[in-house]
Amino acid sequence: MSTRFADSRLPVPTAGLTRRDLLSIPWGNDGDPRVGHWIRVHRRAMACRFEITLSGERAAEIPAAREALEEAERLEALLSVFRETSEISRLNQQAGVGAITASDDVVALLSRCQDLSESTGGAFDITSTPLSRCWGFLRREGRVPADSEIDRALGLVGMDALSCDEETNRVSLSKRGAAVNLGAVGKGFAVQAIGAALWRRGVREALVSAGSSSILALGGVNDGWTIDVTAAGPARRVLARLRLRNAALGTSGAAEQFVEVNGHRYGHILDPRTGRPASGIINATVISADAATADALATAFFVGGIELARTYCDTHPGTLALITPDDQSWRPRIVGRYRGATVEEM
Amino acid sequence: MPTLSRAQGTALVLLRTLIGWHFLYEGYYKLVLPAWARGGTPMAKWSAAGYLAGATGPLAAPFHALGAVAGSWIDLAVPIGLVLVGLSLMLGLFTRAGCWGAMLMLALFYLSAIPLTGTPVPGQEGEYLLVSKNLIEFVAVAVILVSRTERIAGLDLLLPSTRTPAATATTA
Amino acid sequence: MNLTPEQQAIGRRNFLKAVAGVPALAGLGAAAAISGPVRGGPMRIGFIGVGGEGRVLLAQVDPAYATVLAMADINPSQLAKADDVLQKQGRRAATHYADWQDMIAHEDIEGVVVAVPLWAHADIVCECLDAGKHVLCEKMMAWDVAGCERMRQTALKNRKVLEIGYQRNYNPMYQAAHDGIIKTGLLGDVYLSRILWHRNGNWRRQGEPPSKDYNPSKWGYPTFEHLWNWRLYKRYSRGLIAELASHEMNIVNWFFGAEQTSVMGTGGIYRFKDGREVPDHVYATWEYDGGRTAVFSSIESNAFDHYYEAFFGTKATLILQGEAEAYLFDEATGRPATGLEVTPKGSGPALEASESRVADAAGRGAGASTTPGDRLLAYKNEISAFCAAVRTGAPLLCGPDRAMGSARACIMAVEAIEKKTRLEIPPPVAART
């Protein structure tokens, strides 16, 4: 049993039998069934399960949780490309034609996406829809798109086409055929909004999650909320155990969703810089102060790898990343640090 | 030997009493098990095995070996030792022996888990580097020992051996 | 001996200093007596009746809380099955008894769990209480109101713990629903509660007597068939109402915060006309103050609805399904339902983080809760609370007072169904203690 340092300057405790392990005999609760349980309030939105987890003795916060979940529906109506009336859909419809007036939330999110795209060197790019369409043939017809098709799609990709005026709330896409898709950041944004709604209603200790890929930890008693980062797929492996206090987590992976053609595995996450599926990383998990950022960076680091993570974390303190390379080792490399997050031994 | 002021004497006796309380309750608690917490949770019989097997630090090996021995004499010896030391210190009876006993036990507890990492250990509170609460309590008992509190207050005063003409004039 | 005043003063001062530690010791003693742990190991218990329900309870006994020393059952094959239950969990074997009186007399047990047919509850429980044992008795308390009252009085007189097995009071999902939804007024005003338990199948069970010459008549069962299918005979059972409605009525009374004032009923033997004495289709409506009503149906001809308790309020609807999941539906909008799940904390993580999965989008599973609400946990909590109450006086959630409300509701309902009429339910006779 050894000490893991990796790239981390985090307090990683020495391994070895801790007293807690030996004495952690489940004695049962104090006779009160409310203690010792999680209450999960959940609702479907954005094609996944949004869930708020409260500790058992906080049942009185269920009404607040139920109200907070409404943020998910409200934002889905604004952001979803599957709804013609959403602001994003209208933006895409007006690509190359004109600008639309968007709500504060949408403008703030688009503006943040612009910043993130810049700071990740384009690894995170919400305008990559044309690329996805191009690679859609892979799934449907089982063929890899030709280089010319990819180049044509790449021509329509690029955050430079998106302009966002935070004063007037006018947003527009300058190229015809360009399109914005907030799939890589929408859930995180909704999770953050739900967390804020909970906070406004006086809830201080809760977990918010969308599917299981975007999580916000409000508060965190003892050492923090315990979250296991797992790689999906046939072997459900736990990559790391985290303790989070007032932190947001986003995770991106390709262990489950991929297509195999001619013996070659193609992941479903595309690198917007090259136009081809990202490879080399099996899981990228990011912890930061904001769930939308964490969500976006997880995708960016999945695409850009450990080098991008290092560059970003060096210049943006308060970001922690666990990047697991696709080398059968299932061992995440730890980059950066976040004050409210601890990585525990497996 | 310089005389102690009333305040100094009181402080030392108070320190001794509190450390005695600490030891006594720790020992009593282990002896009263198996028992139930007032909230309604059962707690099993106390055993040193967990602590011995969980020893860390450079001197962990002999403690591990001790834990492997399936003897329950340790399970009885530790609590009884704690109780005797606790009573001794609280009542001020055979105080010097009680102090030495306390220091021995604290030394063992400290050596079984010398904090070397300086980082928090999951499941335990605090961050310690070399100096832990056990070490501090050890030195506190040493202070009590050298201050000869048995001459200031405690049942030892009723023992003839403690009462010497010089001693009775120690505190103002 | 003559001491000078100075010598006396010095002597007194020294004596006070000598005993300076004694008050502190007394303080510690008092504090430990008040707040410290209560000595005692796991509670020693015996089981009276280890049939189907008895074995469920047996399997849920937490060994840290109680040790099962002995079991009594008039049917030896039930005892054998109970042995299997204990063995599968690696617990110590329990001594067998045919007569529970023998068990009480010979075993050093502090309490008993009673899971015998309904008609025998009152007698057995009262005798056990008089013999100085604490009792956890299965619902629905007793066959008649007089029996229920007798049990309550006997427990009070002997100052022993009596708990009735309405385990849903210990189901954390119901606790969360009550504290988070009912108490907070999320539903608005609730006028109607619908409870039901629908099954599609014959309540009569097949079974083999333990031996060819097995004769249970000395215990009041003329034939083995009477014992095995006691639920179908009026002498021993109160039918579907007692077995099924009682649980759900317990919840309605809890959530309404009141007891029923009248009951209307109808029902009969419509499908399984096989000589049974209790109806296979029952319908009952209980009224409460404030214009509130609870409607209940239990049938043996269709299982589509399974079982649930629903509360229909002016602002929202709450449905508690199968003791495992809860759903909240808004009245105002067509919003999707909000679900409520309660899962044990365990030693694992609060959540698992992983990439979004295909299953999420399809609506299957996902989220992080991998264990569904475990209704068996309620039994475990119930038994643990019983033991904790005996050892430390920690409060019970379902003592005789709480249980009586539901028992009276059901006993009166059976009468109303028989007479196909409406009956007033008088308020409880004795004040709650």
Q: What is the pLDDT of residue A10?
A: 28
Task: Assign B91 a pLDDT band (cuts: 50, 70, 90).
Answer: very high
Q: Whole-model pTM?
A: 0.82
Of C14, C24, C391, Cβ closest to residue B17: C24
Distance in angstroms (rounded) separating the CA atoms of residues C388 and A30? 9
Segments in C36-178 forming alpha helices (H) = 52-59, 76-88, 100-106, 121-130, 145-158, 172-177
State whether residue B58 sits within 8 Å of chain A by CB.
no
**Which amino acid, C396?**
L
Q: What digits encode the pLDDT tens for the residues B32-53?
A: 988 998 888 888 888 888 788 7
Distance in angstroms (rounded) separating the CA atoms of residues B21 and C31? 11
Distance in angstroms (rounded) separating the CA atoms of residues C180 and A107? 36
Q: What is the pLDDT of residue A296?
A: 95
Determine whether the interchain pair A28/B41 forms a contact, defined as Cβ–Cβ distance below 8 Å.
yes
Neighbouring-strand partners of residue A55: A38
Q: What digits encode the pLDDT tens for the residues B98-155?
A: 999 999 999 999 998 888 887 776 656 778 888 989 999 999 999 999 998 888 888 8
Q: What is the pLDDT of residue B156?
A: 86
Q: Which two tokens stand for residue C234?
A: 């009026």
Q: What is the pLDDT of residue A28?
A: 33
Domain ranges of chain B: 6-168
| pLDDT greater at residue C109 or residue A255 | C109
Distance in angstroms (rounded) separating the CA atoms of residues C10 and B160? 15
Backbone angles phi, psi at C41, to 5 degrees: -90, -160
SS (H, E, C) chain A: CCCCCCCCCCCCCCCCCCHHHHHCCCCCCCCCCCCCEEEEEEEEECCEEEEEEEEHHHHHHHHHHHHHCHHHHHHHHHHCCCCCCCHHHHHHHCCCCCEEECCHHHHHHHHHHHHHHHHCCCCCCCCCHHHHHHHHHHHHHCCCCCHHHHHHHHHHCCHHHEEEECCCCEEEECCCCCCCCCCCCHHHHHHHHHHHHHHHCCCCCEEEEECCCEEEEECCCCCCEEEEEEECCCCCEEEEEEEECCEEEEEEECCCCEEEECCEEEECCEECCCCEECCCEEEEEEEECCHHHHHHHHHHHHHHHHHHHHHHHHHCCCCEEEEEECCCCCCCEEEECCCCEEEECC
Q: What is the pLDDT of residue B46?
A: 87
Q: Which of A261, A265, A263 is nearest to A281 (CA)?
A: A265
Of C64, C186, C354, Cβ closest to residue A63: C186
Domain ranges of chain A: 36-344
Q: Considering only A94-108, C353-367, C378-392, which range has the smallest mean pLDDT?
A: C353-367
Neighbouring-strand partners of residue A321: A286, A335
Q: Which of C202, C180, C317, C198 is nearest to C248 (CA)?
A: C198
Q: What is the pLDDT of residue C358?
A: 59
User: A69, exposed or middle or buried, with CB in 10 Å at 0-12, 13-18, 19+?
Assistant: buried
Spell out which residues of chain B touch residue A344, defining contact as CB-CB under 8 Å. 122
- Whats the size of chain A, residue-wise? 346
Q: What is the pLDDT of residue B56?
A: 80
State whether residue B56 sits within 8 Å of chain A by CB.
yes
C-alpha separations of A132 from A143, A183, A299, C359 in Å:
14, 12, 14, 21
Top-level class of domain A36-344: alpha beta
Strands (E), B40-150: 42-43
Distance in angstroms (rounded) separating the CA atoms of residues C262 and C260? 6
The average pLDDT across C37-49 equals 93
State whether residue C370 sits within 8 Å of chain A by CB.
no
State whether residue C352 sits within 8 Å of chain A by CB.
yes
Spell out which residues of chain B touch residue A19, defining contact as CB-CB under 8 Å. 50-51, 54, 121, 123-124
Pairing of strands A225-231, C351-353: parallel
Of B29, B41, B92, Cβ closest to residue C21: B92
Q: Which residues have C-beta within 8 Å of that of residue A88, sequence separation ≥ 6?
A: A78, A79, A80, A81, A106, A180, A181, A182
Q: What's the complex ipTM?
A: 0.85
Question: Looking at the predicted structure, is the pLDDT value of residue C32 above 60?
Answer: yes
Q: What is the pLDDT of residue C368?
A: 39
Task: Judge if the upstream peptide bond of residue C140 is cis by omega within 30 degrees of 0.
Answer: yes
Q: Which of C280, C242, C247 is nearest to C118 (CA)?
A: C242
Distance in angstroms (rounded) separating the CA atoms of residues C288 and C262? 7
State whether residue C30 sits within 8 Å of chain B by CB.
no
Separation in Å, CA of C184 to nearest CA in chain A: 7
Task: Assign B72 a pLDDT band (cuts: 50, 70, 90).
Answer: confident
Separation in Å, CA of C92 to nearest CA in chain B: 17
Task: Assign C333 a pLDDT band (cuts: 50, 70, 90).
Answer: confident
Are C140 and C117 contacting, i.e. CB atoms less than 8 angstroms apart? no
Separation in Å, CA of C172 to nearest CA in chain A: 5
Q: What is the pLDDT of residue A25?
A: 30
Determine whether the interchain pair A39/C340 forms a contact, defined as Cβ–Cβ distance below 8 Å.
yes
For chain C, which domains are there?
Answer: 43-169 (3.40.50.720)
Q: At what angle do helices A70-79 and A104-119 cross, to 10 degrees?
A: 70
Q: What is the pLDDT of residue C359?
A: 56
Q: What is the pLDDT of residue A134?
A: 83
% of chain B surpassing 90 pLDDT: 42
Q: What is the pLDDT of residue B118?
A: 79
Spell out which residues of chain C touch residue A43, defining contact as CB-CB under 8 Å. 335-339
Q: Which of A199, A236, A201 is nearest to A216 (CA)?
A: A199
Determine whether the interchain pair A11/B120 forms a contact, defined as Cβ–Cβ distance below 8 Å.
yes
The Cα angle at residue C136 between residues C135 and C139, in degrees rounded to 5: 130
Q: What is the pLDDT of residue B163?
A: 59
Question: Looking at the predicted structure, is the pLDDT value of residue C366 above 50?
Answer: no
Name residue, tokens 């990709």.
A157
Q: Nearest chain B residue to A23 by CA: give it.
A: B50
Q: In whole numbers, what is the pLDDT of chain C averaged over residues? A: 90
The average pLDDT across C315-329 equals 92
Q: What is the pLDDT of residue A256?
A: 66
Q: Considering only A69-73, A152-156, C79-83, C284-288, which range has the smallest mean pLDDT?
A: A152-156
- Whats the size of chain C, residue-wise? 433
CB count within 10 Å of CB C326 equals 26
Name residue, tokens 């100052």.
C159
Are C318 and C252 contacting, i.e. CB atoms less than 8 angstroms apart? no
Determine whether the interchain pair A22/B54 forms a contact, defined as Cβ–Cβ distance below 8 Å.
yes
Query: For residue C256, how far is the Cα from the chain centroid?
Result: 19
Q: What is the mean pLDDT of each run of 10 residues along chain A (346 residues)?
A: 28 33 32 66 93 93 95 94 92 92 93 94 90 76 81 89 92 91 92 95 95 92 88 80 94 76 76 87 93 95 93 94 88 91 78
Question: Looking at the predicted structure, is the pLDDT value of residue C228 above 80?
Answer: yes
Q: Which two tokens stand for residue A287?
A: 């912890």
Q: What is the pLDDT of residue C384?
A: 93
CB count within 10 Å of CB B89 equals 30
Positive or negative CA dihedral for B30, B31, B33, B36? negative
